Structure 1
């Protein structure tokens, strides 16, 4: 798993250009990110990621979502943030949420607690 992630970082660092954009929770396509926006790095094939998006939309919490399977530039950004935070790359659990510089990852053992922690951080 670690080798796959590292090869993806290497590949994206040397020439992959992805023309996808972010999707804001209200359906608008965004080019820049405000400093107070919640950023979710996930995958449309990950049920935890889709459940997180649905949960936040139901609670009317704004966020920006990047599908890291499609957007390799944002995948690289996520990996760099995790490395800066000292989180081992072999410990990644999607979704990864950036709450104004503080990273949170899905806790599969307590997914409901993970979701509740996202609400508490936005109040």
Structure 2
């Protein structure tokens, strides 16, 4: 009986995880139609990504956020954009930000400079 209950719970948990990946909504602040909206690819487990989202919200900068851990299609999209811009993947650091085709990557050594560059890119 325990195995049956475990199997049923496992089945429903698996279905829920598969469905959650397909229905993940971007965090867009209602700005998906603005041409100057930043696209932020990150992970909810990355403190730089969390800090970047907080910075953008604080400075009222429109952005769309995609969690590449949850949305594999957006992860592939991000990797393709990096390849098109000849950015090597061996030293990839999240978050990756795109504005009008230009890719801006997190420089871990100068994270404050990275955040300031996002503000300058939107003016």
TM-score by length of 2: 0.78
For 1:52-101, what per-residue CA distance to the aligned partner results, in whole angstroms no more than 9, with x for missing partners?
Answer: 00001000101000000000000000000000000111121000000111
1:54-65 alignment to 2 at 5 Å? 54-65=54-65
- Bigger helix share: 2
- Structure showing greater radius of gyration is 2
Provide the aligned C-alpha RMSD in A: 2.0
The answer for unaligned runs of 5 or more in structure 1 is 1-15
Which consecutive aligned stretches of 4+ in structure 1 deviate over 6 angstroms post-superposition?
Answer: none
More strand by percentage: 1
- Tell me which of 17, 21, 27 is aligned to 1:23: 27
Q: Please report the TM-score for the alignment, with normalisation by the length of structure 1.
A: 0.78
Instruction: Give matches, 1:8-19, under 5 Å.
Output: 18-19=21-22
Aligned residues: 104
